[in-house]
């Protein structure tokens, strides 16, 4: 392609043509690698590095790069900040120009689930969250399709719901909980469009990128596409849509098998499981200056590996957490990150669930051979997870450290992901999980389940709590046949609802994460300020209000007791709620 050849020539001229150990996140010399990206991001012209890589071009990449080359030459490859600002003003557009607000056509005033909510304040609040789908709706303008080279945004044919705040494009795993909320809001057509977008991405790239920008292309996120399809089918019974796209669903799972598998020797046997792994170099474009500064603390030969591990951490969705620092030299420094050296419980639980769903899908479509294939894969994964990740004494699953040959026994809600995913064979594990939560003192937290018990300053650590992780634990426990375990699931739901409701009452906003100390407030830590919106937080709240709406209240929280007293108190609370007074 002539344009690309010109770019390669320019790359050599700029002195950046030496072979890096790893390829860049994408080919763009503006949005993914190269001197232009480096100079702009290291000048810190914006509070958030994501701002620059989201700015559309005003003309073709060739013209912009040519002008930058001339400017860089004039200032000996060190352009003054003011000149850089003028250059950006002349050659780039403001963020968001390529997107337009969109009100979903299937939005309706009063979906049925609202009637199930007994508490008047919670019902009004749920109605306000239902209104937020209109605020979070986006549609990509046609010029992105006509001139894709001038945008970092990846064109999607159908409108979608965004998380909110700085996240103005489509995101992979966020969208699962968004879709759950949309389906409760009776917006199945919106969900189908979002599903089709993801299926289209698989057809083009072989997988679903982390988010809808070119700089996310080489990393994915937790694989929930198959589950999205299952939830859509449960609401619509649209078997024709499944039939059209079953092979694309299979293609996405093949990506994880072919690119994210790892062999583990344990007890004299070899096991195959999956990990997060992104062998692409350079700083993350959307966090360029932070990644570059962090790399400066390491020997030059270790920098590419650091950047690859940071991308793997972003692929996990947990960017970032002590979970990926355990076993490294410094638990509080991201320079210790080693994501790809761990076999994550939740990733393998999601894939186990996907294999079961694929078996069911193929059986539904009459393809017994494929149904048997996925049933066998699921059985193999289940046995492997039991052998490698399950801890009978503790009653939970744990990430496996490949380098140190042992489980990471720290607490994370993801340790119970197999319960949520239905990836277990013994129903008693739900009750063992309850004891694990008691032993870990998790039930003493009154405002939500913490993401970890490590306080590192990273956003996926204490004291932050995240909506999807509440869902993993609550729905996992709710699968128990034991009334006491089910009652704890309800109380955890009640805690989370009140935290979200109380913060909303004060701030008139929903947040991506919450700080569960001192009564609950918007979360913090990590690489950017806490964001409002917020897609998956809204979705989880609507799910809990739908499931427990006849019992949830907006009033004072049940005072928490010692774990051994908690279950008795919860049962008493439940029995009292049945009385007529």
Angstrom distance (rounded) from CA 534 to CA 132: 9
H-helix or E-strand spanning residue 141: none
Angstrom distance (rounded) from CA 558 to CA 560: 6
Are the C-beta atoms of 194 and 160 separated by less than 8 Å?
yes
Are the C-beta atoms of 365 and 359 separated by less than 8 Å?
no
Angstrom distance (rounded) from CA 195 to CA 231: 11
Which one of the listed residues 180, 309, 512, 546 is annotated catalytic? 512
Which residue is listed with tokens 């603390």?
297
Query: Catalytic residue at 319?
Result: yes
- Tokens in use for 1? 């392609």
- Tokens in use for 22? 């790893």
- Secondary structure of residue 63 in the 3-state scheme: helix
Angstrom distance (rounded) from CA 31 to CA 151: 9
Are the C-beta atoms of 138 and 103 separated by less than 8 Å?
no
Angstrom distance (rounded) from CA 560 to CA 106: 42
- Tokens in use for 153? 């945004």
> Rounded to 5 degrees, what are φ and ψ at 407?
-80, 150
Angstrom distance (rounded) from CA 415 to CA 367: 34
Q: Under 8 Å CB-to-CB from 145, ≥6 apart: which residues?
A: 155
H-helix or E-strand spanning residue 489: helix 483-507
Instruction: List Cα–Cα distances, 249 to 156, 290, 507, in angstroms.
Output: 18, 36, 40
Are the C-beta atoms of 411 and 452 separated by less than 8 Å?
yes
Instruction: Report which of 244, 168, 161, 237 is spatially closest to residue 200, judged by C-alpha positions.
Output: 244
Are the C-beta atoms of 343 and 274 separated by less than 8 Å?
yes
Instruction: Report which of 505, 500, 483 is spatially closest to residue 542, judged by C-alpha positions.
Output: 500
CB atoms within 10 A of CB 535: 28
Instruction: List Cα–Cα distances, 411 to 143, 213, 321, 479, in angstroms.
Output: 47, 33, 12, 21
- Tokens in use for 237? 């019974």
Angstrom distance (rounded) from CA 24 to CA 311: 11
- Tokens in use for 180? 């759950």
Which one of the listed residues 200, 319, 356, 515 is annotated catalytic? 319
Angstrom distance (rounded) from CA 563 to CA 437: 9
Instruction: Report which of 551, 554, 538 is spatially closest to residue 185, judged by C-alpha positions.
Output: 538
Q: Give the catalytic positions in this structure.
A: 319, 512
């Amino acid at each position: 392609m002539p344009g690309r050849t010109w770019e390669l020539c320019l790359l050599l001229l700029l002195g950046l043509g030496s072979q890096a150990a790893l390829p860049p996140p994408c080919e763009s010399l503006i949005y993914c690698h190269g001197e232009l990206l480096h100079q702009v991001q290291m000048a810190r012209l914006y509070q958030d590095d994501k701002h620059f890589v989201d700015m559309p071009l005003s003309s073709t990449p060739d013209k912009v790069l040519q002008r930058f080359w001339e400017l860089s030459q004039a200032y000996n490859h060190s352009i003054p900040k003011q000149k850089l600002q003028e250059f950006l003003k002349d050659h780039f557009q403001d963020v968001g120009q390529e997107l337009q607000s969109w009100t979903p056509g299937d939005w309706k005033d009063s979906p049925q689930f609202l009637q199930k909510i007994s508490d008047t304040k919670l019902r009004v609040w749920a109605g306000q969250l239902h209104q937020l789908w209109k605020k979070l709706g986006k549609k990509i303008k046609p010029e992105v399709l006509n001139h894709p080279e001038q945008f970092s945004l990846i064109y999607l044919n159908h409108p979608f719901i965004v998380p909110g705040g700085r996240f103005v494009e489509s995101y992979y795993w966020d969208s699962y909980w968004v879709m759950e909320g949309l389906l409760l809001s009776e917006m199945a057509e919106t969900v189908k469009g979002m599903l089709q977008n993801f299926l289209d991405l698989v057809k083009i790239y072989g997988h679903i990128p982390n988010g809808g920008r070119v700089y996310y292309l080489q990393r994915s996120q937790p694989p929930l596409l198959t589950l999205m399809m299952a939830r859509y089918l449960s609401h619509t019974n649209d078997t024709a849509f499944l039939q059209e796209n079953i092979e694309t669903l299979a293609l996405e799972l093949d990506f994880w098998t072919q690119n994210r598998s790892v062999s583990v020797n344990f007890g004299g046997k070899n096991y195959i499981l999956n990990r997060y792994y992104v062998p692409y170099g350079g700083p993350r474009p959307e966090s360029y200056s932070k990644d570059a500064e962090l790399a400066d603390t390491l020997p030059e030969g270790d920098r590419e590996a650091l950047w690859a591990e940071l991308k793997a951490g972003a692929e996990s969705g947990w960017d970032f957490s002590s979970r990926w620092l355990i076993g490294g030299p410094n638990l509080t420094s991201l320079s210790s990150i080693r994501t790809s050296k761990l076999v994550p419980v939740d990733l393998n639980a999601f894939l186990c669930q996907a294999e079961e769903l694929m078996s069911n899908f193929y059986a539904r479509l009459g393809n017994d051979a494929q149904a048997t294939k996925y049933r066998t894969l699921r059985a193999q994964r289940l046995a492997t997870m039991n052998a490698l990740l399950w801890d009978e004494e503790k009653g939970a699953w744990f990430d496996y450290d490949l380098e140190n040959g042992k489980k990471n026994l720290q607490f994370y809600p993801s340790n119970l992901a197999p319960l949520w995913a239905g990836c277990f064979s013994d129903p008693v594990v739900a009750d063992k999980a309850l004891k694990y939560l008691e032993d870990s003192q998790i039930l003493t937290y009154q405002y939500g389940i913490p993401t970890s018990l490590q306080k590192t300053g990273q956003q996926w650590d204490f004291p932050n709590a995240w909506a999807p992780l509440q869902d993993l634990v609550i729905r996992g426990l709710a699968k128990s046949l034991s009334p006491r375990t089910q009652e704890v699931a309800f109380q955890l739901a009640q805690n989370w609802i009140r935290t979200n409701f109380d913060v909303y009452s004060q701030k008139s906003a929903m947040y991506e994460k919450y700080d569960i100390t001192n009564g609950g407030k918007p979360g913090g830590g990590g690489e950017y300020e806490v964001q409002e919106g917020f897609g998956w937080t809204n979705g989880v709240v609507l799910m809990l209000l739908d499931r427990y709406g006849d019992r949830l209240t907006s009033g004072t929280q049940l005072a928490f007791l010692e774990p051994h007293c908690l279950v008795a108190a919860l049962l008493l609370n439940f029995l009292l709620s049945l009385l007529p007074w």
